[in-house]
Chain A
Amino acid sequence: KVKAAATGKFVIEEEDLEEPLWDLKMALLESDVEMSVAEEILDRVEEELVGERRKFTESTGSIVEDALREALLDVISVGQFDFDQRIADADKPLVIIFTGVNGVGKTTSIAKMSRYLAERGYSSVLANGDTYRAGANEQIGEHAAALDRKLISHQQGGDPAAVIYDAVEYAEANDVDVVLGDTAGRLHTNEGLMDQLEKIGRVVGPDMTLFVDEAVAGQDAVRRAEQFDEAVSIDGSILTKADADSNGGAAISVAHVTGKPILFLGVGQGYDHLERFDPEVVVARLLGDDE
C-alpha cells in the first residue's frame, strides 16, 4: 500500500531508538535477563543501528528487534562446543564435577547425565562429594540404585575431595569411562565452602567442571556464575527447571558473564529430562516468536 514510499530511506537517529530500546529492556528484564547484561546488549544494538539507513517499509521496532536477535544469539552461543565429541576424545576415566548453589538440581542432573552417557555407550560411576547436607547420601544412593550404577560415598562430614579421588581410583580399576562428582550446594558468599570447592578442584583436577543453576533464577544468577567461575573455572553450565519457566533470561546472563557455553537444560525430574541446549530456541523464546 505504501509502495511508492518503499524506495525512500531514513537515517536512524538516536531518538528514534529510545522507545523501542526501552520496551526491549523491559521485555528482557521480564524474561530475567540481568539488568547490566541487558543494558550492555542494548547498547551494542544502539551502536550498531544509529546512523544506519532503513527503508520506509520497515518499522524501527522490527529493525531493532532483528538487531537484538543477532546480539542475543551472539551472547548465548558463546563458546558452544560439541559435548559428545569432547567426551569421545578424552582419556578415560574422565572426571566431571558438578557445582552450584543450594537446591538448583546438581544431584538430579548427575543422575540424568549418567543416563545420557549410557545412551551414548559410556559407563559412569557416581561420587557423592556432598558430605554435608542431611539425606544427601540417601538421595544419590537411590538414584544410583534406580540407574544401577556404582556409588562411591563416605560418612557425613568426610572430605569431599577424598570421595571423588576414591571414585577415580574405582573407575581406573574397573574400566569405567566417566566419574560424575557431586558437590554440596553452597552459596557464593560462603568463603569457607568456596575455598573447599577450590580445594576439591586442586586435588581432583577434573577434566570438566559444570556449573548448575536454575532457569527460574533472576538477577542474582550473574553474581553466582561469576563467583563459581572465578573459584573453579567452569567449562560450561546446565540450567535446570526450564520446565517451570518460559523465559530463559538466566541463560543469557550466565553465558554472558562466564563466557562459557550453556550445555544442557533440565526440563523435568525424570532421568530423560536432560536436553542439549539450543541457542536458537532460547532466543526465539525470549523474543516471543516461538510456537
Chain B
Amino acid sequence: MVLDDLGSSLRGTLDKLRGKSRISEEDVEEVVKEIQRSLLQADVDVSLVMELSDNIKQRALEEEPPSGTPARDFVLRIVYEELVDLIGDSTELPLEEQTIMLAGLQGSGKTTSAAKMAWWFSKKGLRPAVIQTDTFRPGAYDQAKQMAERAEVEFYGDPDNDDPVDIARKGLEATEDADVHIVDTAGRHALEDDLIDEIEEIERVVDPDVSLLVLDAAIGQGAKEQAQQFDESVGIGGVVITKLDGTAKGGGALTAVNETDSSIAFLGTGEEVQDIERFEPEGFISRLLGMGDLGSLVERV
C-alpha cells in the first residue's frame, strides 16, 4: 500500500499535545479541525463529520481525563470511541444456512464480491452457491460463472432468461442443497425507479436473511443517497467496501452505515477471489484517519 500522508497533519497536531496534561479549548479546537479534515478527505458525509466533531469537542472539554493520562492520548481515545460507536463491529454472519443478496451502484464490485464471499464461506466449511440475476450487463453471466469457477463454488445463471426475478426463483430451487445462497444483482442507482422496483421484486422472491450494499471505497458524498434508497427498498443489513487496495479511504461506508443503521461485513482488497477480509474496526478507523498506529495508542490509555 502506498505511503499515507493524509493523517500526518493530524498526527502533527496531536503531537503538539504530547506532554501536556490539561487541554485548553484552543487545543481541542485545533485537534477537532484536523479530525474534520481527515474525515472529509476520507469522503465521510459532510454533515456527519460536523456531528461527529461536535461530539468530540464537547466530550474533550467536559470529561475529566483519567489521572495520569496525557491530553493527547485522552483526545485520541475520544475520537476513537466516537468512531467505534458509529461503525460498531463487523456485521454478524453466522456460519449456518442463509441467503444473502447483494445490491449497489453499477461497477461497485458486486459480482466479484459474490464470488469472494462464496469462497470465504467455503473456507469456513460451508457449501455456498452464487446466483447471477443480472440480465442487463453484457457478459454478466460469463463473468459471474468464471468467478464462481475460480472460487470453486456452485453457480446458477441463465443467459437465455431475461427475467431476473424468475432467474432468482429458479436459482434458489436449483441450488437447494447449498448452505449459503449469494444472490448477485445488476448494478443500479437511486434515481433509476424501474430498476429500484426490480430489485424490490427480486428481494421479495429471494427473501434474503440479509441484503448487503456493495460500495466502492472511492465513492464520494453520493454514498448517502445511494444508501438511503437501497435501505428503503430492500433493507440494508450490512456494507461491503471494495477496492480498498487503492488509496481511497472508504469514508462513504461510514456514511452508509450511519444511514442504514447497519455495519460493515467485508472488505475487498483485490480482483481475485481470495482478496477478501472480514471487517475489523480498528484497522479501518486507522485508515480513515490516516494513522497506522491508532490502535496501539488507544490501547495504552
Report which A residues bind B (CB closer than 8 A). 26, 29-32, 35, 101-105, 132-143, 146, 187-190, 214, 216-221, 223-224, 241, 243-245, 247, 249-250, 269
Residues of B within 8 A of A133 (CB): 143, 271
B107 touches A143 (CB 8 A): no
Partner of A221, one of B40, B218, B222: B218
State the Cβ distance, B50 to closest chain A Cβ, in Å: 9
CA distance A32 to B249 in the complex (A): 14
B138 touches A138 (CB 8 A): yes
B139 touches A247 (CB 8 A): no
Residues of B within 8 A of A139 (CB): 137-140, 142-143
A241 touches B218 (CB 8 A): no
State the Cβ distance, A144 to closest chain B Cβ, in Å: 10
Residues of B within 8 A of A137 (CB): 139
Partner of B222, one of A104, A135, A140, A216: A216
B222 touches A244 (CB 8 A): yes
Partner of B218, one of A29, A132, A140, A217: A217
Looking at B220, B226, B251, which has the most chain A CB atoms within 10 Å of its CB?
Answer: B220
A135 touches B219 (CB 8 A): no
Contact with A along B135-147 (1 / 0, CB 8 A): 0111111111111
Chain-A contact segment, one of B16-24, B41-49, B173-181:
B41-49
Partner of B246, one of A142, A224, A269: A224
Residues of A within 8 A of B150 (CB): 134
Chain B residues numbered 272-300 whose CB sits less than 8 Å from any CB in chain A: none
Chain B residues numbered 5-37 whose CB sits less than 8 Å from any CB in chain A: 37
Number of contacts between A and B (CB, 8 Å)?
139
Residues of A within 8 A of B146 (CB): 134-135
State the Cβ distance, A240 to closest chain B Cβ, in Å: 8
Contact with A along B119-145 (1 / 0, CB 8 A): 000000000000000001111111111
Residues of B within 8 A of A143 (CB): 138
CA distance A135 to B115 in the complex (A): 13
CA distance A245 to B169 in the complex (A): 32
* Given contacts A139-B139, A218-B43, A218-B252, A250 and B220 within 8 Å (CB-CB): yes
Q: CB-nearest residue of chain A relative to B248?
A: A220
11 new A-B contacts at CB < 8 Å, known A139-B139, A244-B106: A26-B46, A32-B222, A134-B147, A136-B143, A138-B139, A138-B141, A143-B138, A187-B243, A187-B245, A189-B247, A214-B107
Number of B residues contacting the other chain (C-beta, 8 Å)? 46
Chain B residues numbered 87-117 whose CB sits less than 8 Å from any CB in chain A: 105-109
A136 touches B105 (CB 8 A): no
Residues of B within 8 A of A247 (CB): 220-222
CA distance A30 to B46 in the complex (A): 6
CA distance A134 to B115 in the complex (A): 11
Q: CB-nearest residue of chain B relative to A243?
A: B191
A223 touches B247 (CB 8 A): yes
State the Cβ distance, A229 to closest chain B Cβ, in Å: 15
CA distance A243 to B105 in the complex (A): 11
State the Cβ distance, B161 to closest chain A Cβ, in Å: 16
CA distance A105 to B108 in the complex (A): 11
Q: CB-nearest residue of chain A relative to B186?
A: A269
9 A-B pairs whose Cβ atoms sit less than 8 Å apart in the complex: A101-B246, A139-B138, A139-B142, A189-B247, A219-B40, A219-B220, A223-B247, A241-B105, A247-B221
A103 touches B247 (CB 8 A): no
* Given contacts A135-B142, A138-B142, A218-B252, A189 and B245 within 8 Å (CB-CB): yes
A32 touches B221 (CB 8 A): yes
Contact with A along B48-62 (1 / 0, CB 8 A): 000000000000000
B246 touches A220 (CB 8 A): yes
Q: CB-nearest residue of chain A relative to B105?
A: A244
A216 touches B105 (CB 8 A): yes
Residues of A within 8 A of B249 (CB): 219-220
State the Cβ distance, A109 to closest chain B Cβ, in Å: 12
CA distance A47 to B218 in the complex (A): 32
CA distance A135 to B1 in the complex (A): 27
B271 touches A35 (CB 8 A): no
Contact with A along B168-198 (1 / 0, CB 8 A): 0000000000000000000001110000000
A218 touches B219 (CB 8 A): yes
CA distance A260 to B226 in the complex (A): 30
Partner of A35, one of B41, B109, B221: B41
Looking at A32, A134, A136, A214, which has the most chain B CB atoms within 10 Å of its CB?
Answer: A134
